[in-house]
Amino acid sequence: MQRAFAAGIMIAIICPVIGTFIVLRRMSMIGDALSHVSLSGVAAGMLFGFYPFTGALIMSALAALFIEFLRNYFKKYAEVSLAVVMSGGIGLATILISLGRSFNVDLFSYLFGSIVAVTPADLWLILVIGIFICLSMVYIYRRLFYMTFDEDAAKFSGIDTRAINIFFTMLTALTVALSIRVVGTLLVSSLMVIPAAVSIQVSKSFKATMAISIVVALVSVIVGLIASFVWDLAPGGTIVITSVLILVVVLLWKRGKE
């Protein structure tokens, strides 16, 4: 539980930082696409005998590059690249899972998260890569902020929008791969999107949006982990349901004020 809480709190800080930009850039489905591909990396690791987290990391990074490659060919239909990558990722995962039926029990913890699955090695990896993601976001913050609201103007002002897009998508892939131990591959995108959706409803500035989304994610992770421990449930599900309930309460509260 201590390792789960430590990993969960770090992930609850990282996911909204990335997720706020994802939601405002209307790229909410990118988390789903990368998480489905990361599942194929997990399955490959179990099938061929290497660390599944490494497989998830590699496959997510490759998928991020492929998304940016496809976006150049579908500039007016950006969602096409996400649909292609998601379909390919889940297709490959299905094939690899069918080849290694014996590891289906272990795969369950990667699909929906597991408290006992977080190892000390996972914890250190989440810490190191998490710090790298946060520092990277600080480094590209101003340029990414400009691009979020007017990418064409940012490009004309001299910002290398292509490089920033590729780097940001890679950071998103790293975030997805980090989160699968606690939240699970099928639910990780929810932790990136729902807290940002909640904060958009109540905040009046970009920085407030990010801060509130982090608070929502922290509450969701802490309450979700406690609930999963008490009732022996998959932590990914309890974390996501908690965040959904927070969103519903906020929406009802806003409606009551109108």
The CATH number covering residue 17 comes to 1.10.3470.10
For CA atoms 169, 170, 171, 176, the dihedral sign is: positive
Tens-digit pLDDT profile for residues 98-127:
887 655 556 777 777 776 778 888 888 889
Cα 173 to Cα 167: distance, rounded to the nearest angstrom: 10
| Residue 138 included in any domain | yes
Q: Tell me the one-letter amino acid at 245.
A: L
Tens-digit pLDDT profile for residues 169-199:
899 989 988 888 778 877 888 889 999 999 9
List the domain range (segments joined by +) for residue 167. Answer: 2-188
| Residue 57 included in any domain | yes
Contact indicator for 223, 25 with CB cutoff of 8 Å: no
| Residue 31 included in any domain | yes
The token pair that represents 77 in the structure block: 């239909």
| Residue 153 included in any domain | yes
| Residue 207 included in any domain | no
Number of domains in the chain: 1
| Residue 202 included in any domain | no
Tens-digit pLDDT profile for residues 211-252:
999 999 999 999 999 998 899 888 888 999 999 999 999 999
The Cβ of residue 54 has, within 10 Å, a number of other Cβ atoms equal to 15
- Which pTM was predicted? 0.88
Q: Give the DSSP letter string of 5-38.
A: HHHHHHHHHHHHHHHHHHHHTT-TTHHHHHHHHH
| Residue 247 included in any domain | no
| Residue 167 included in any domain | yes
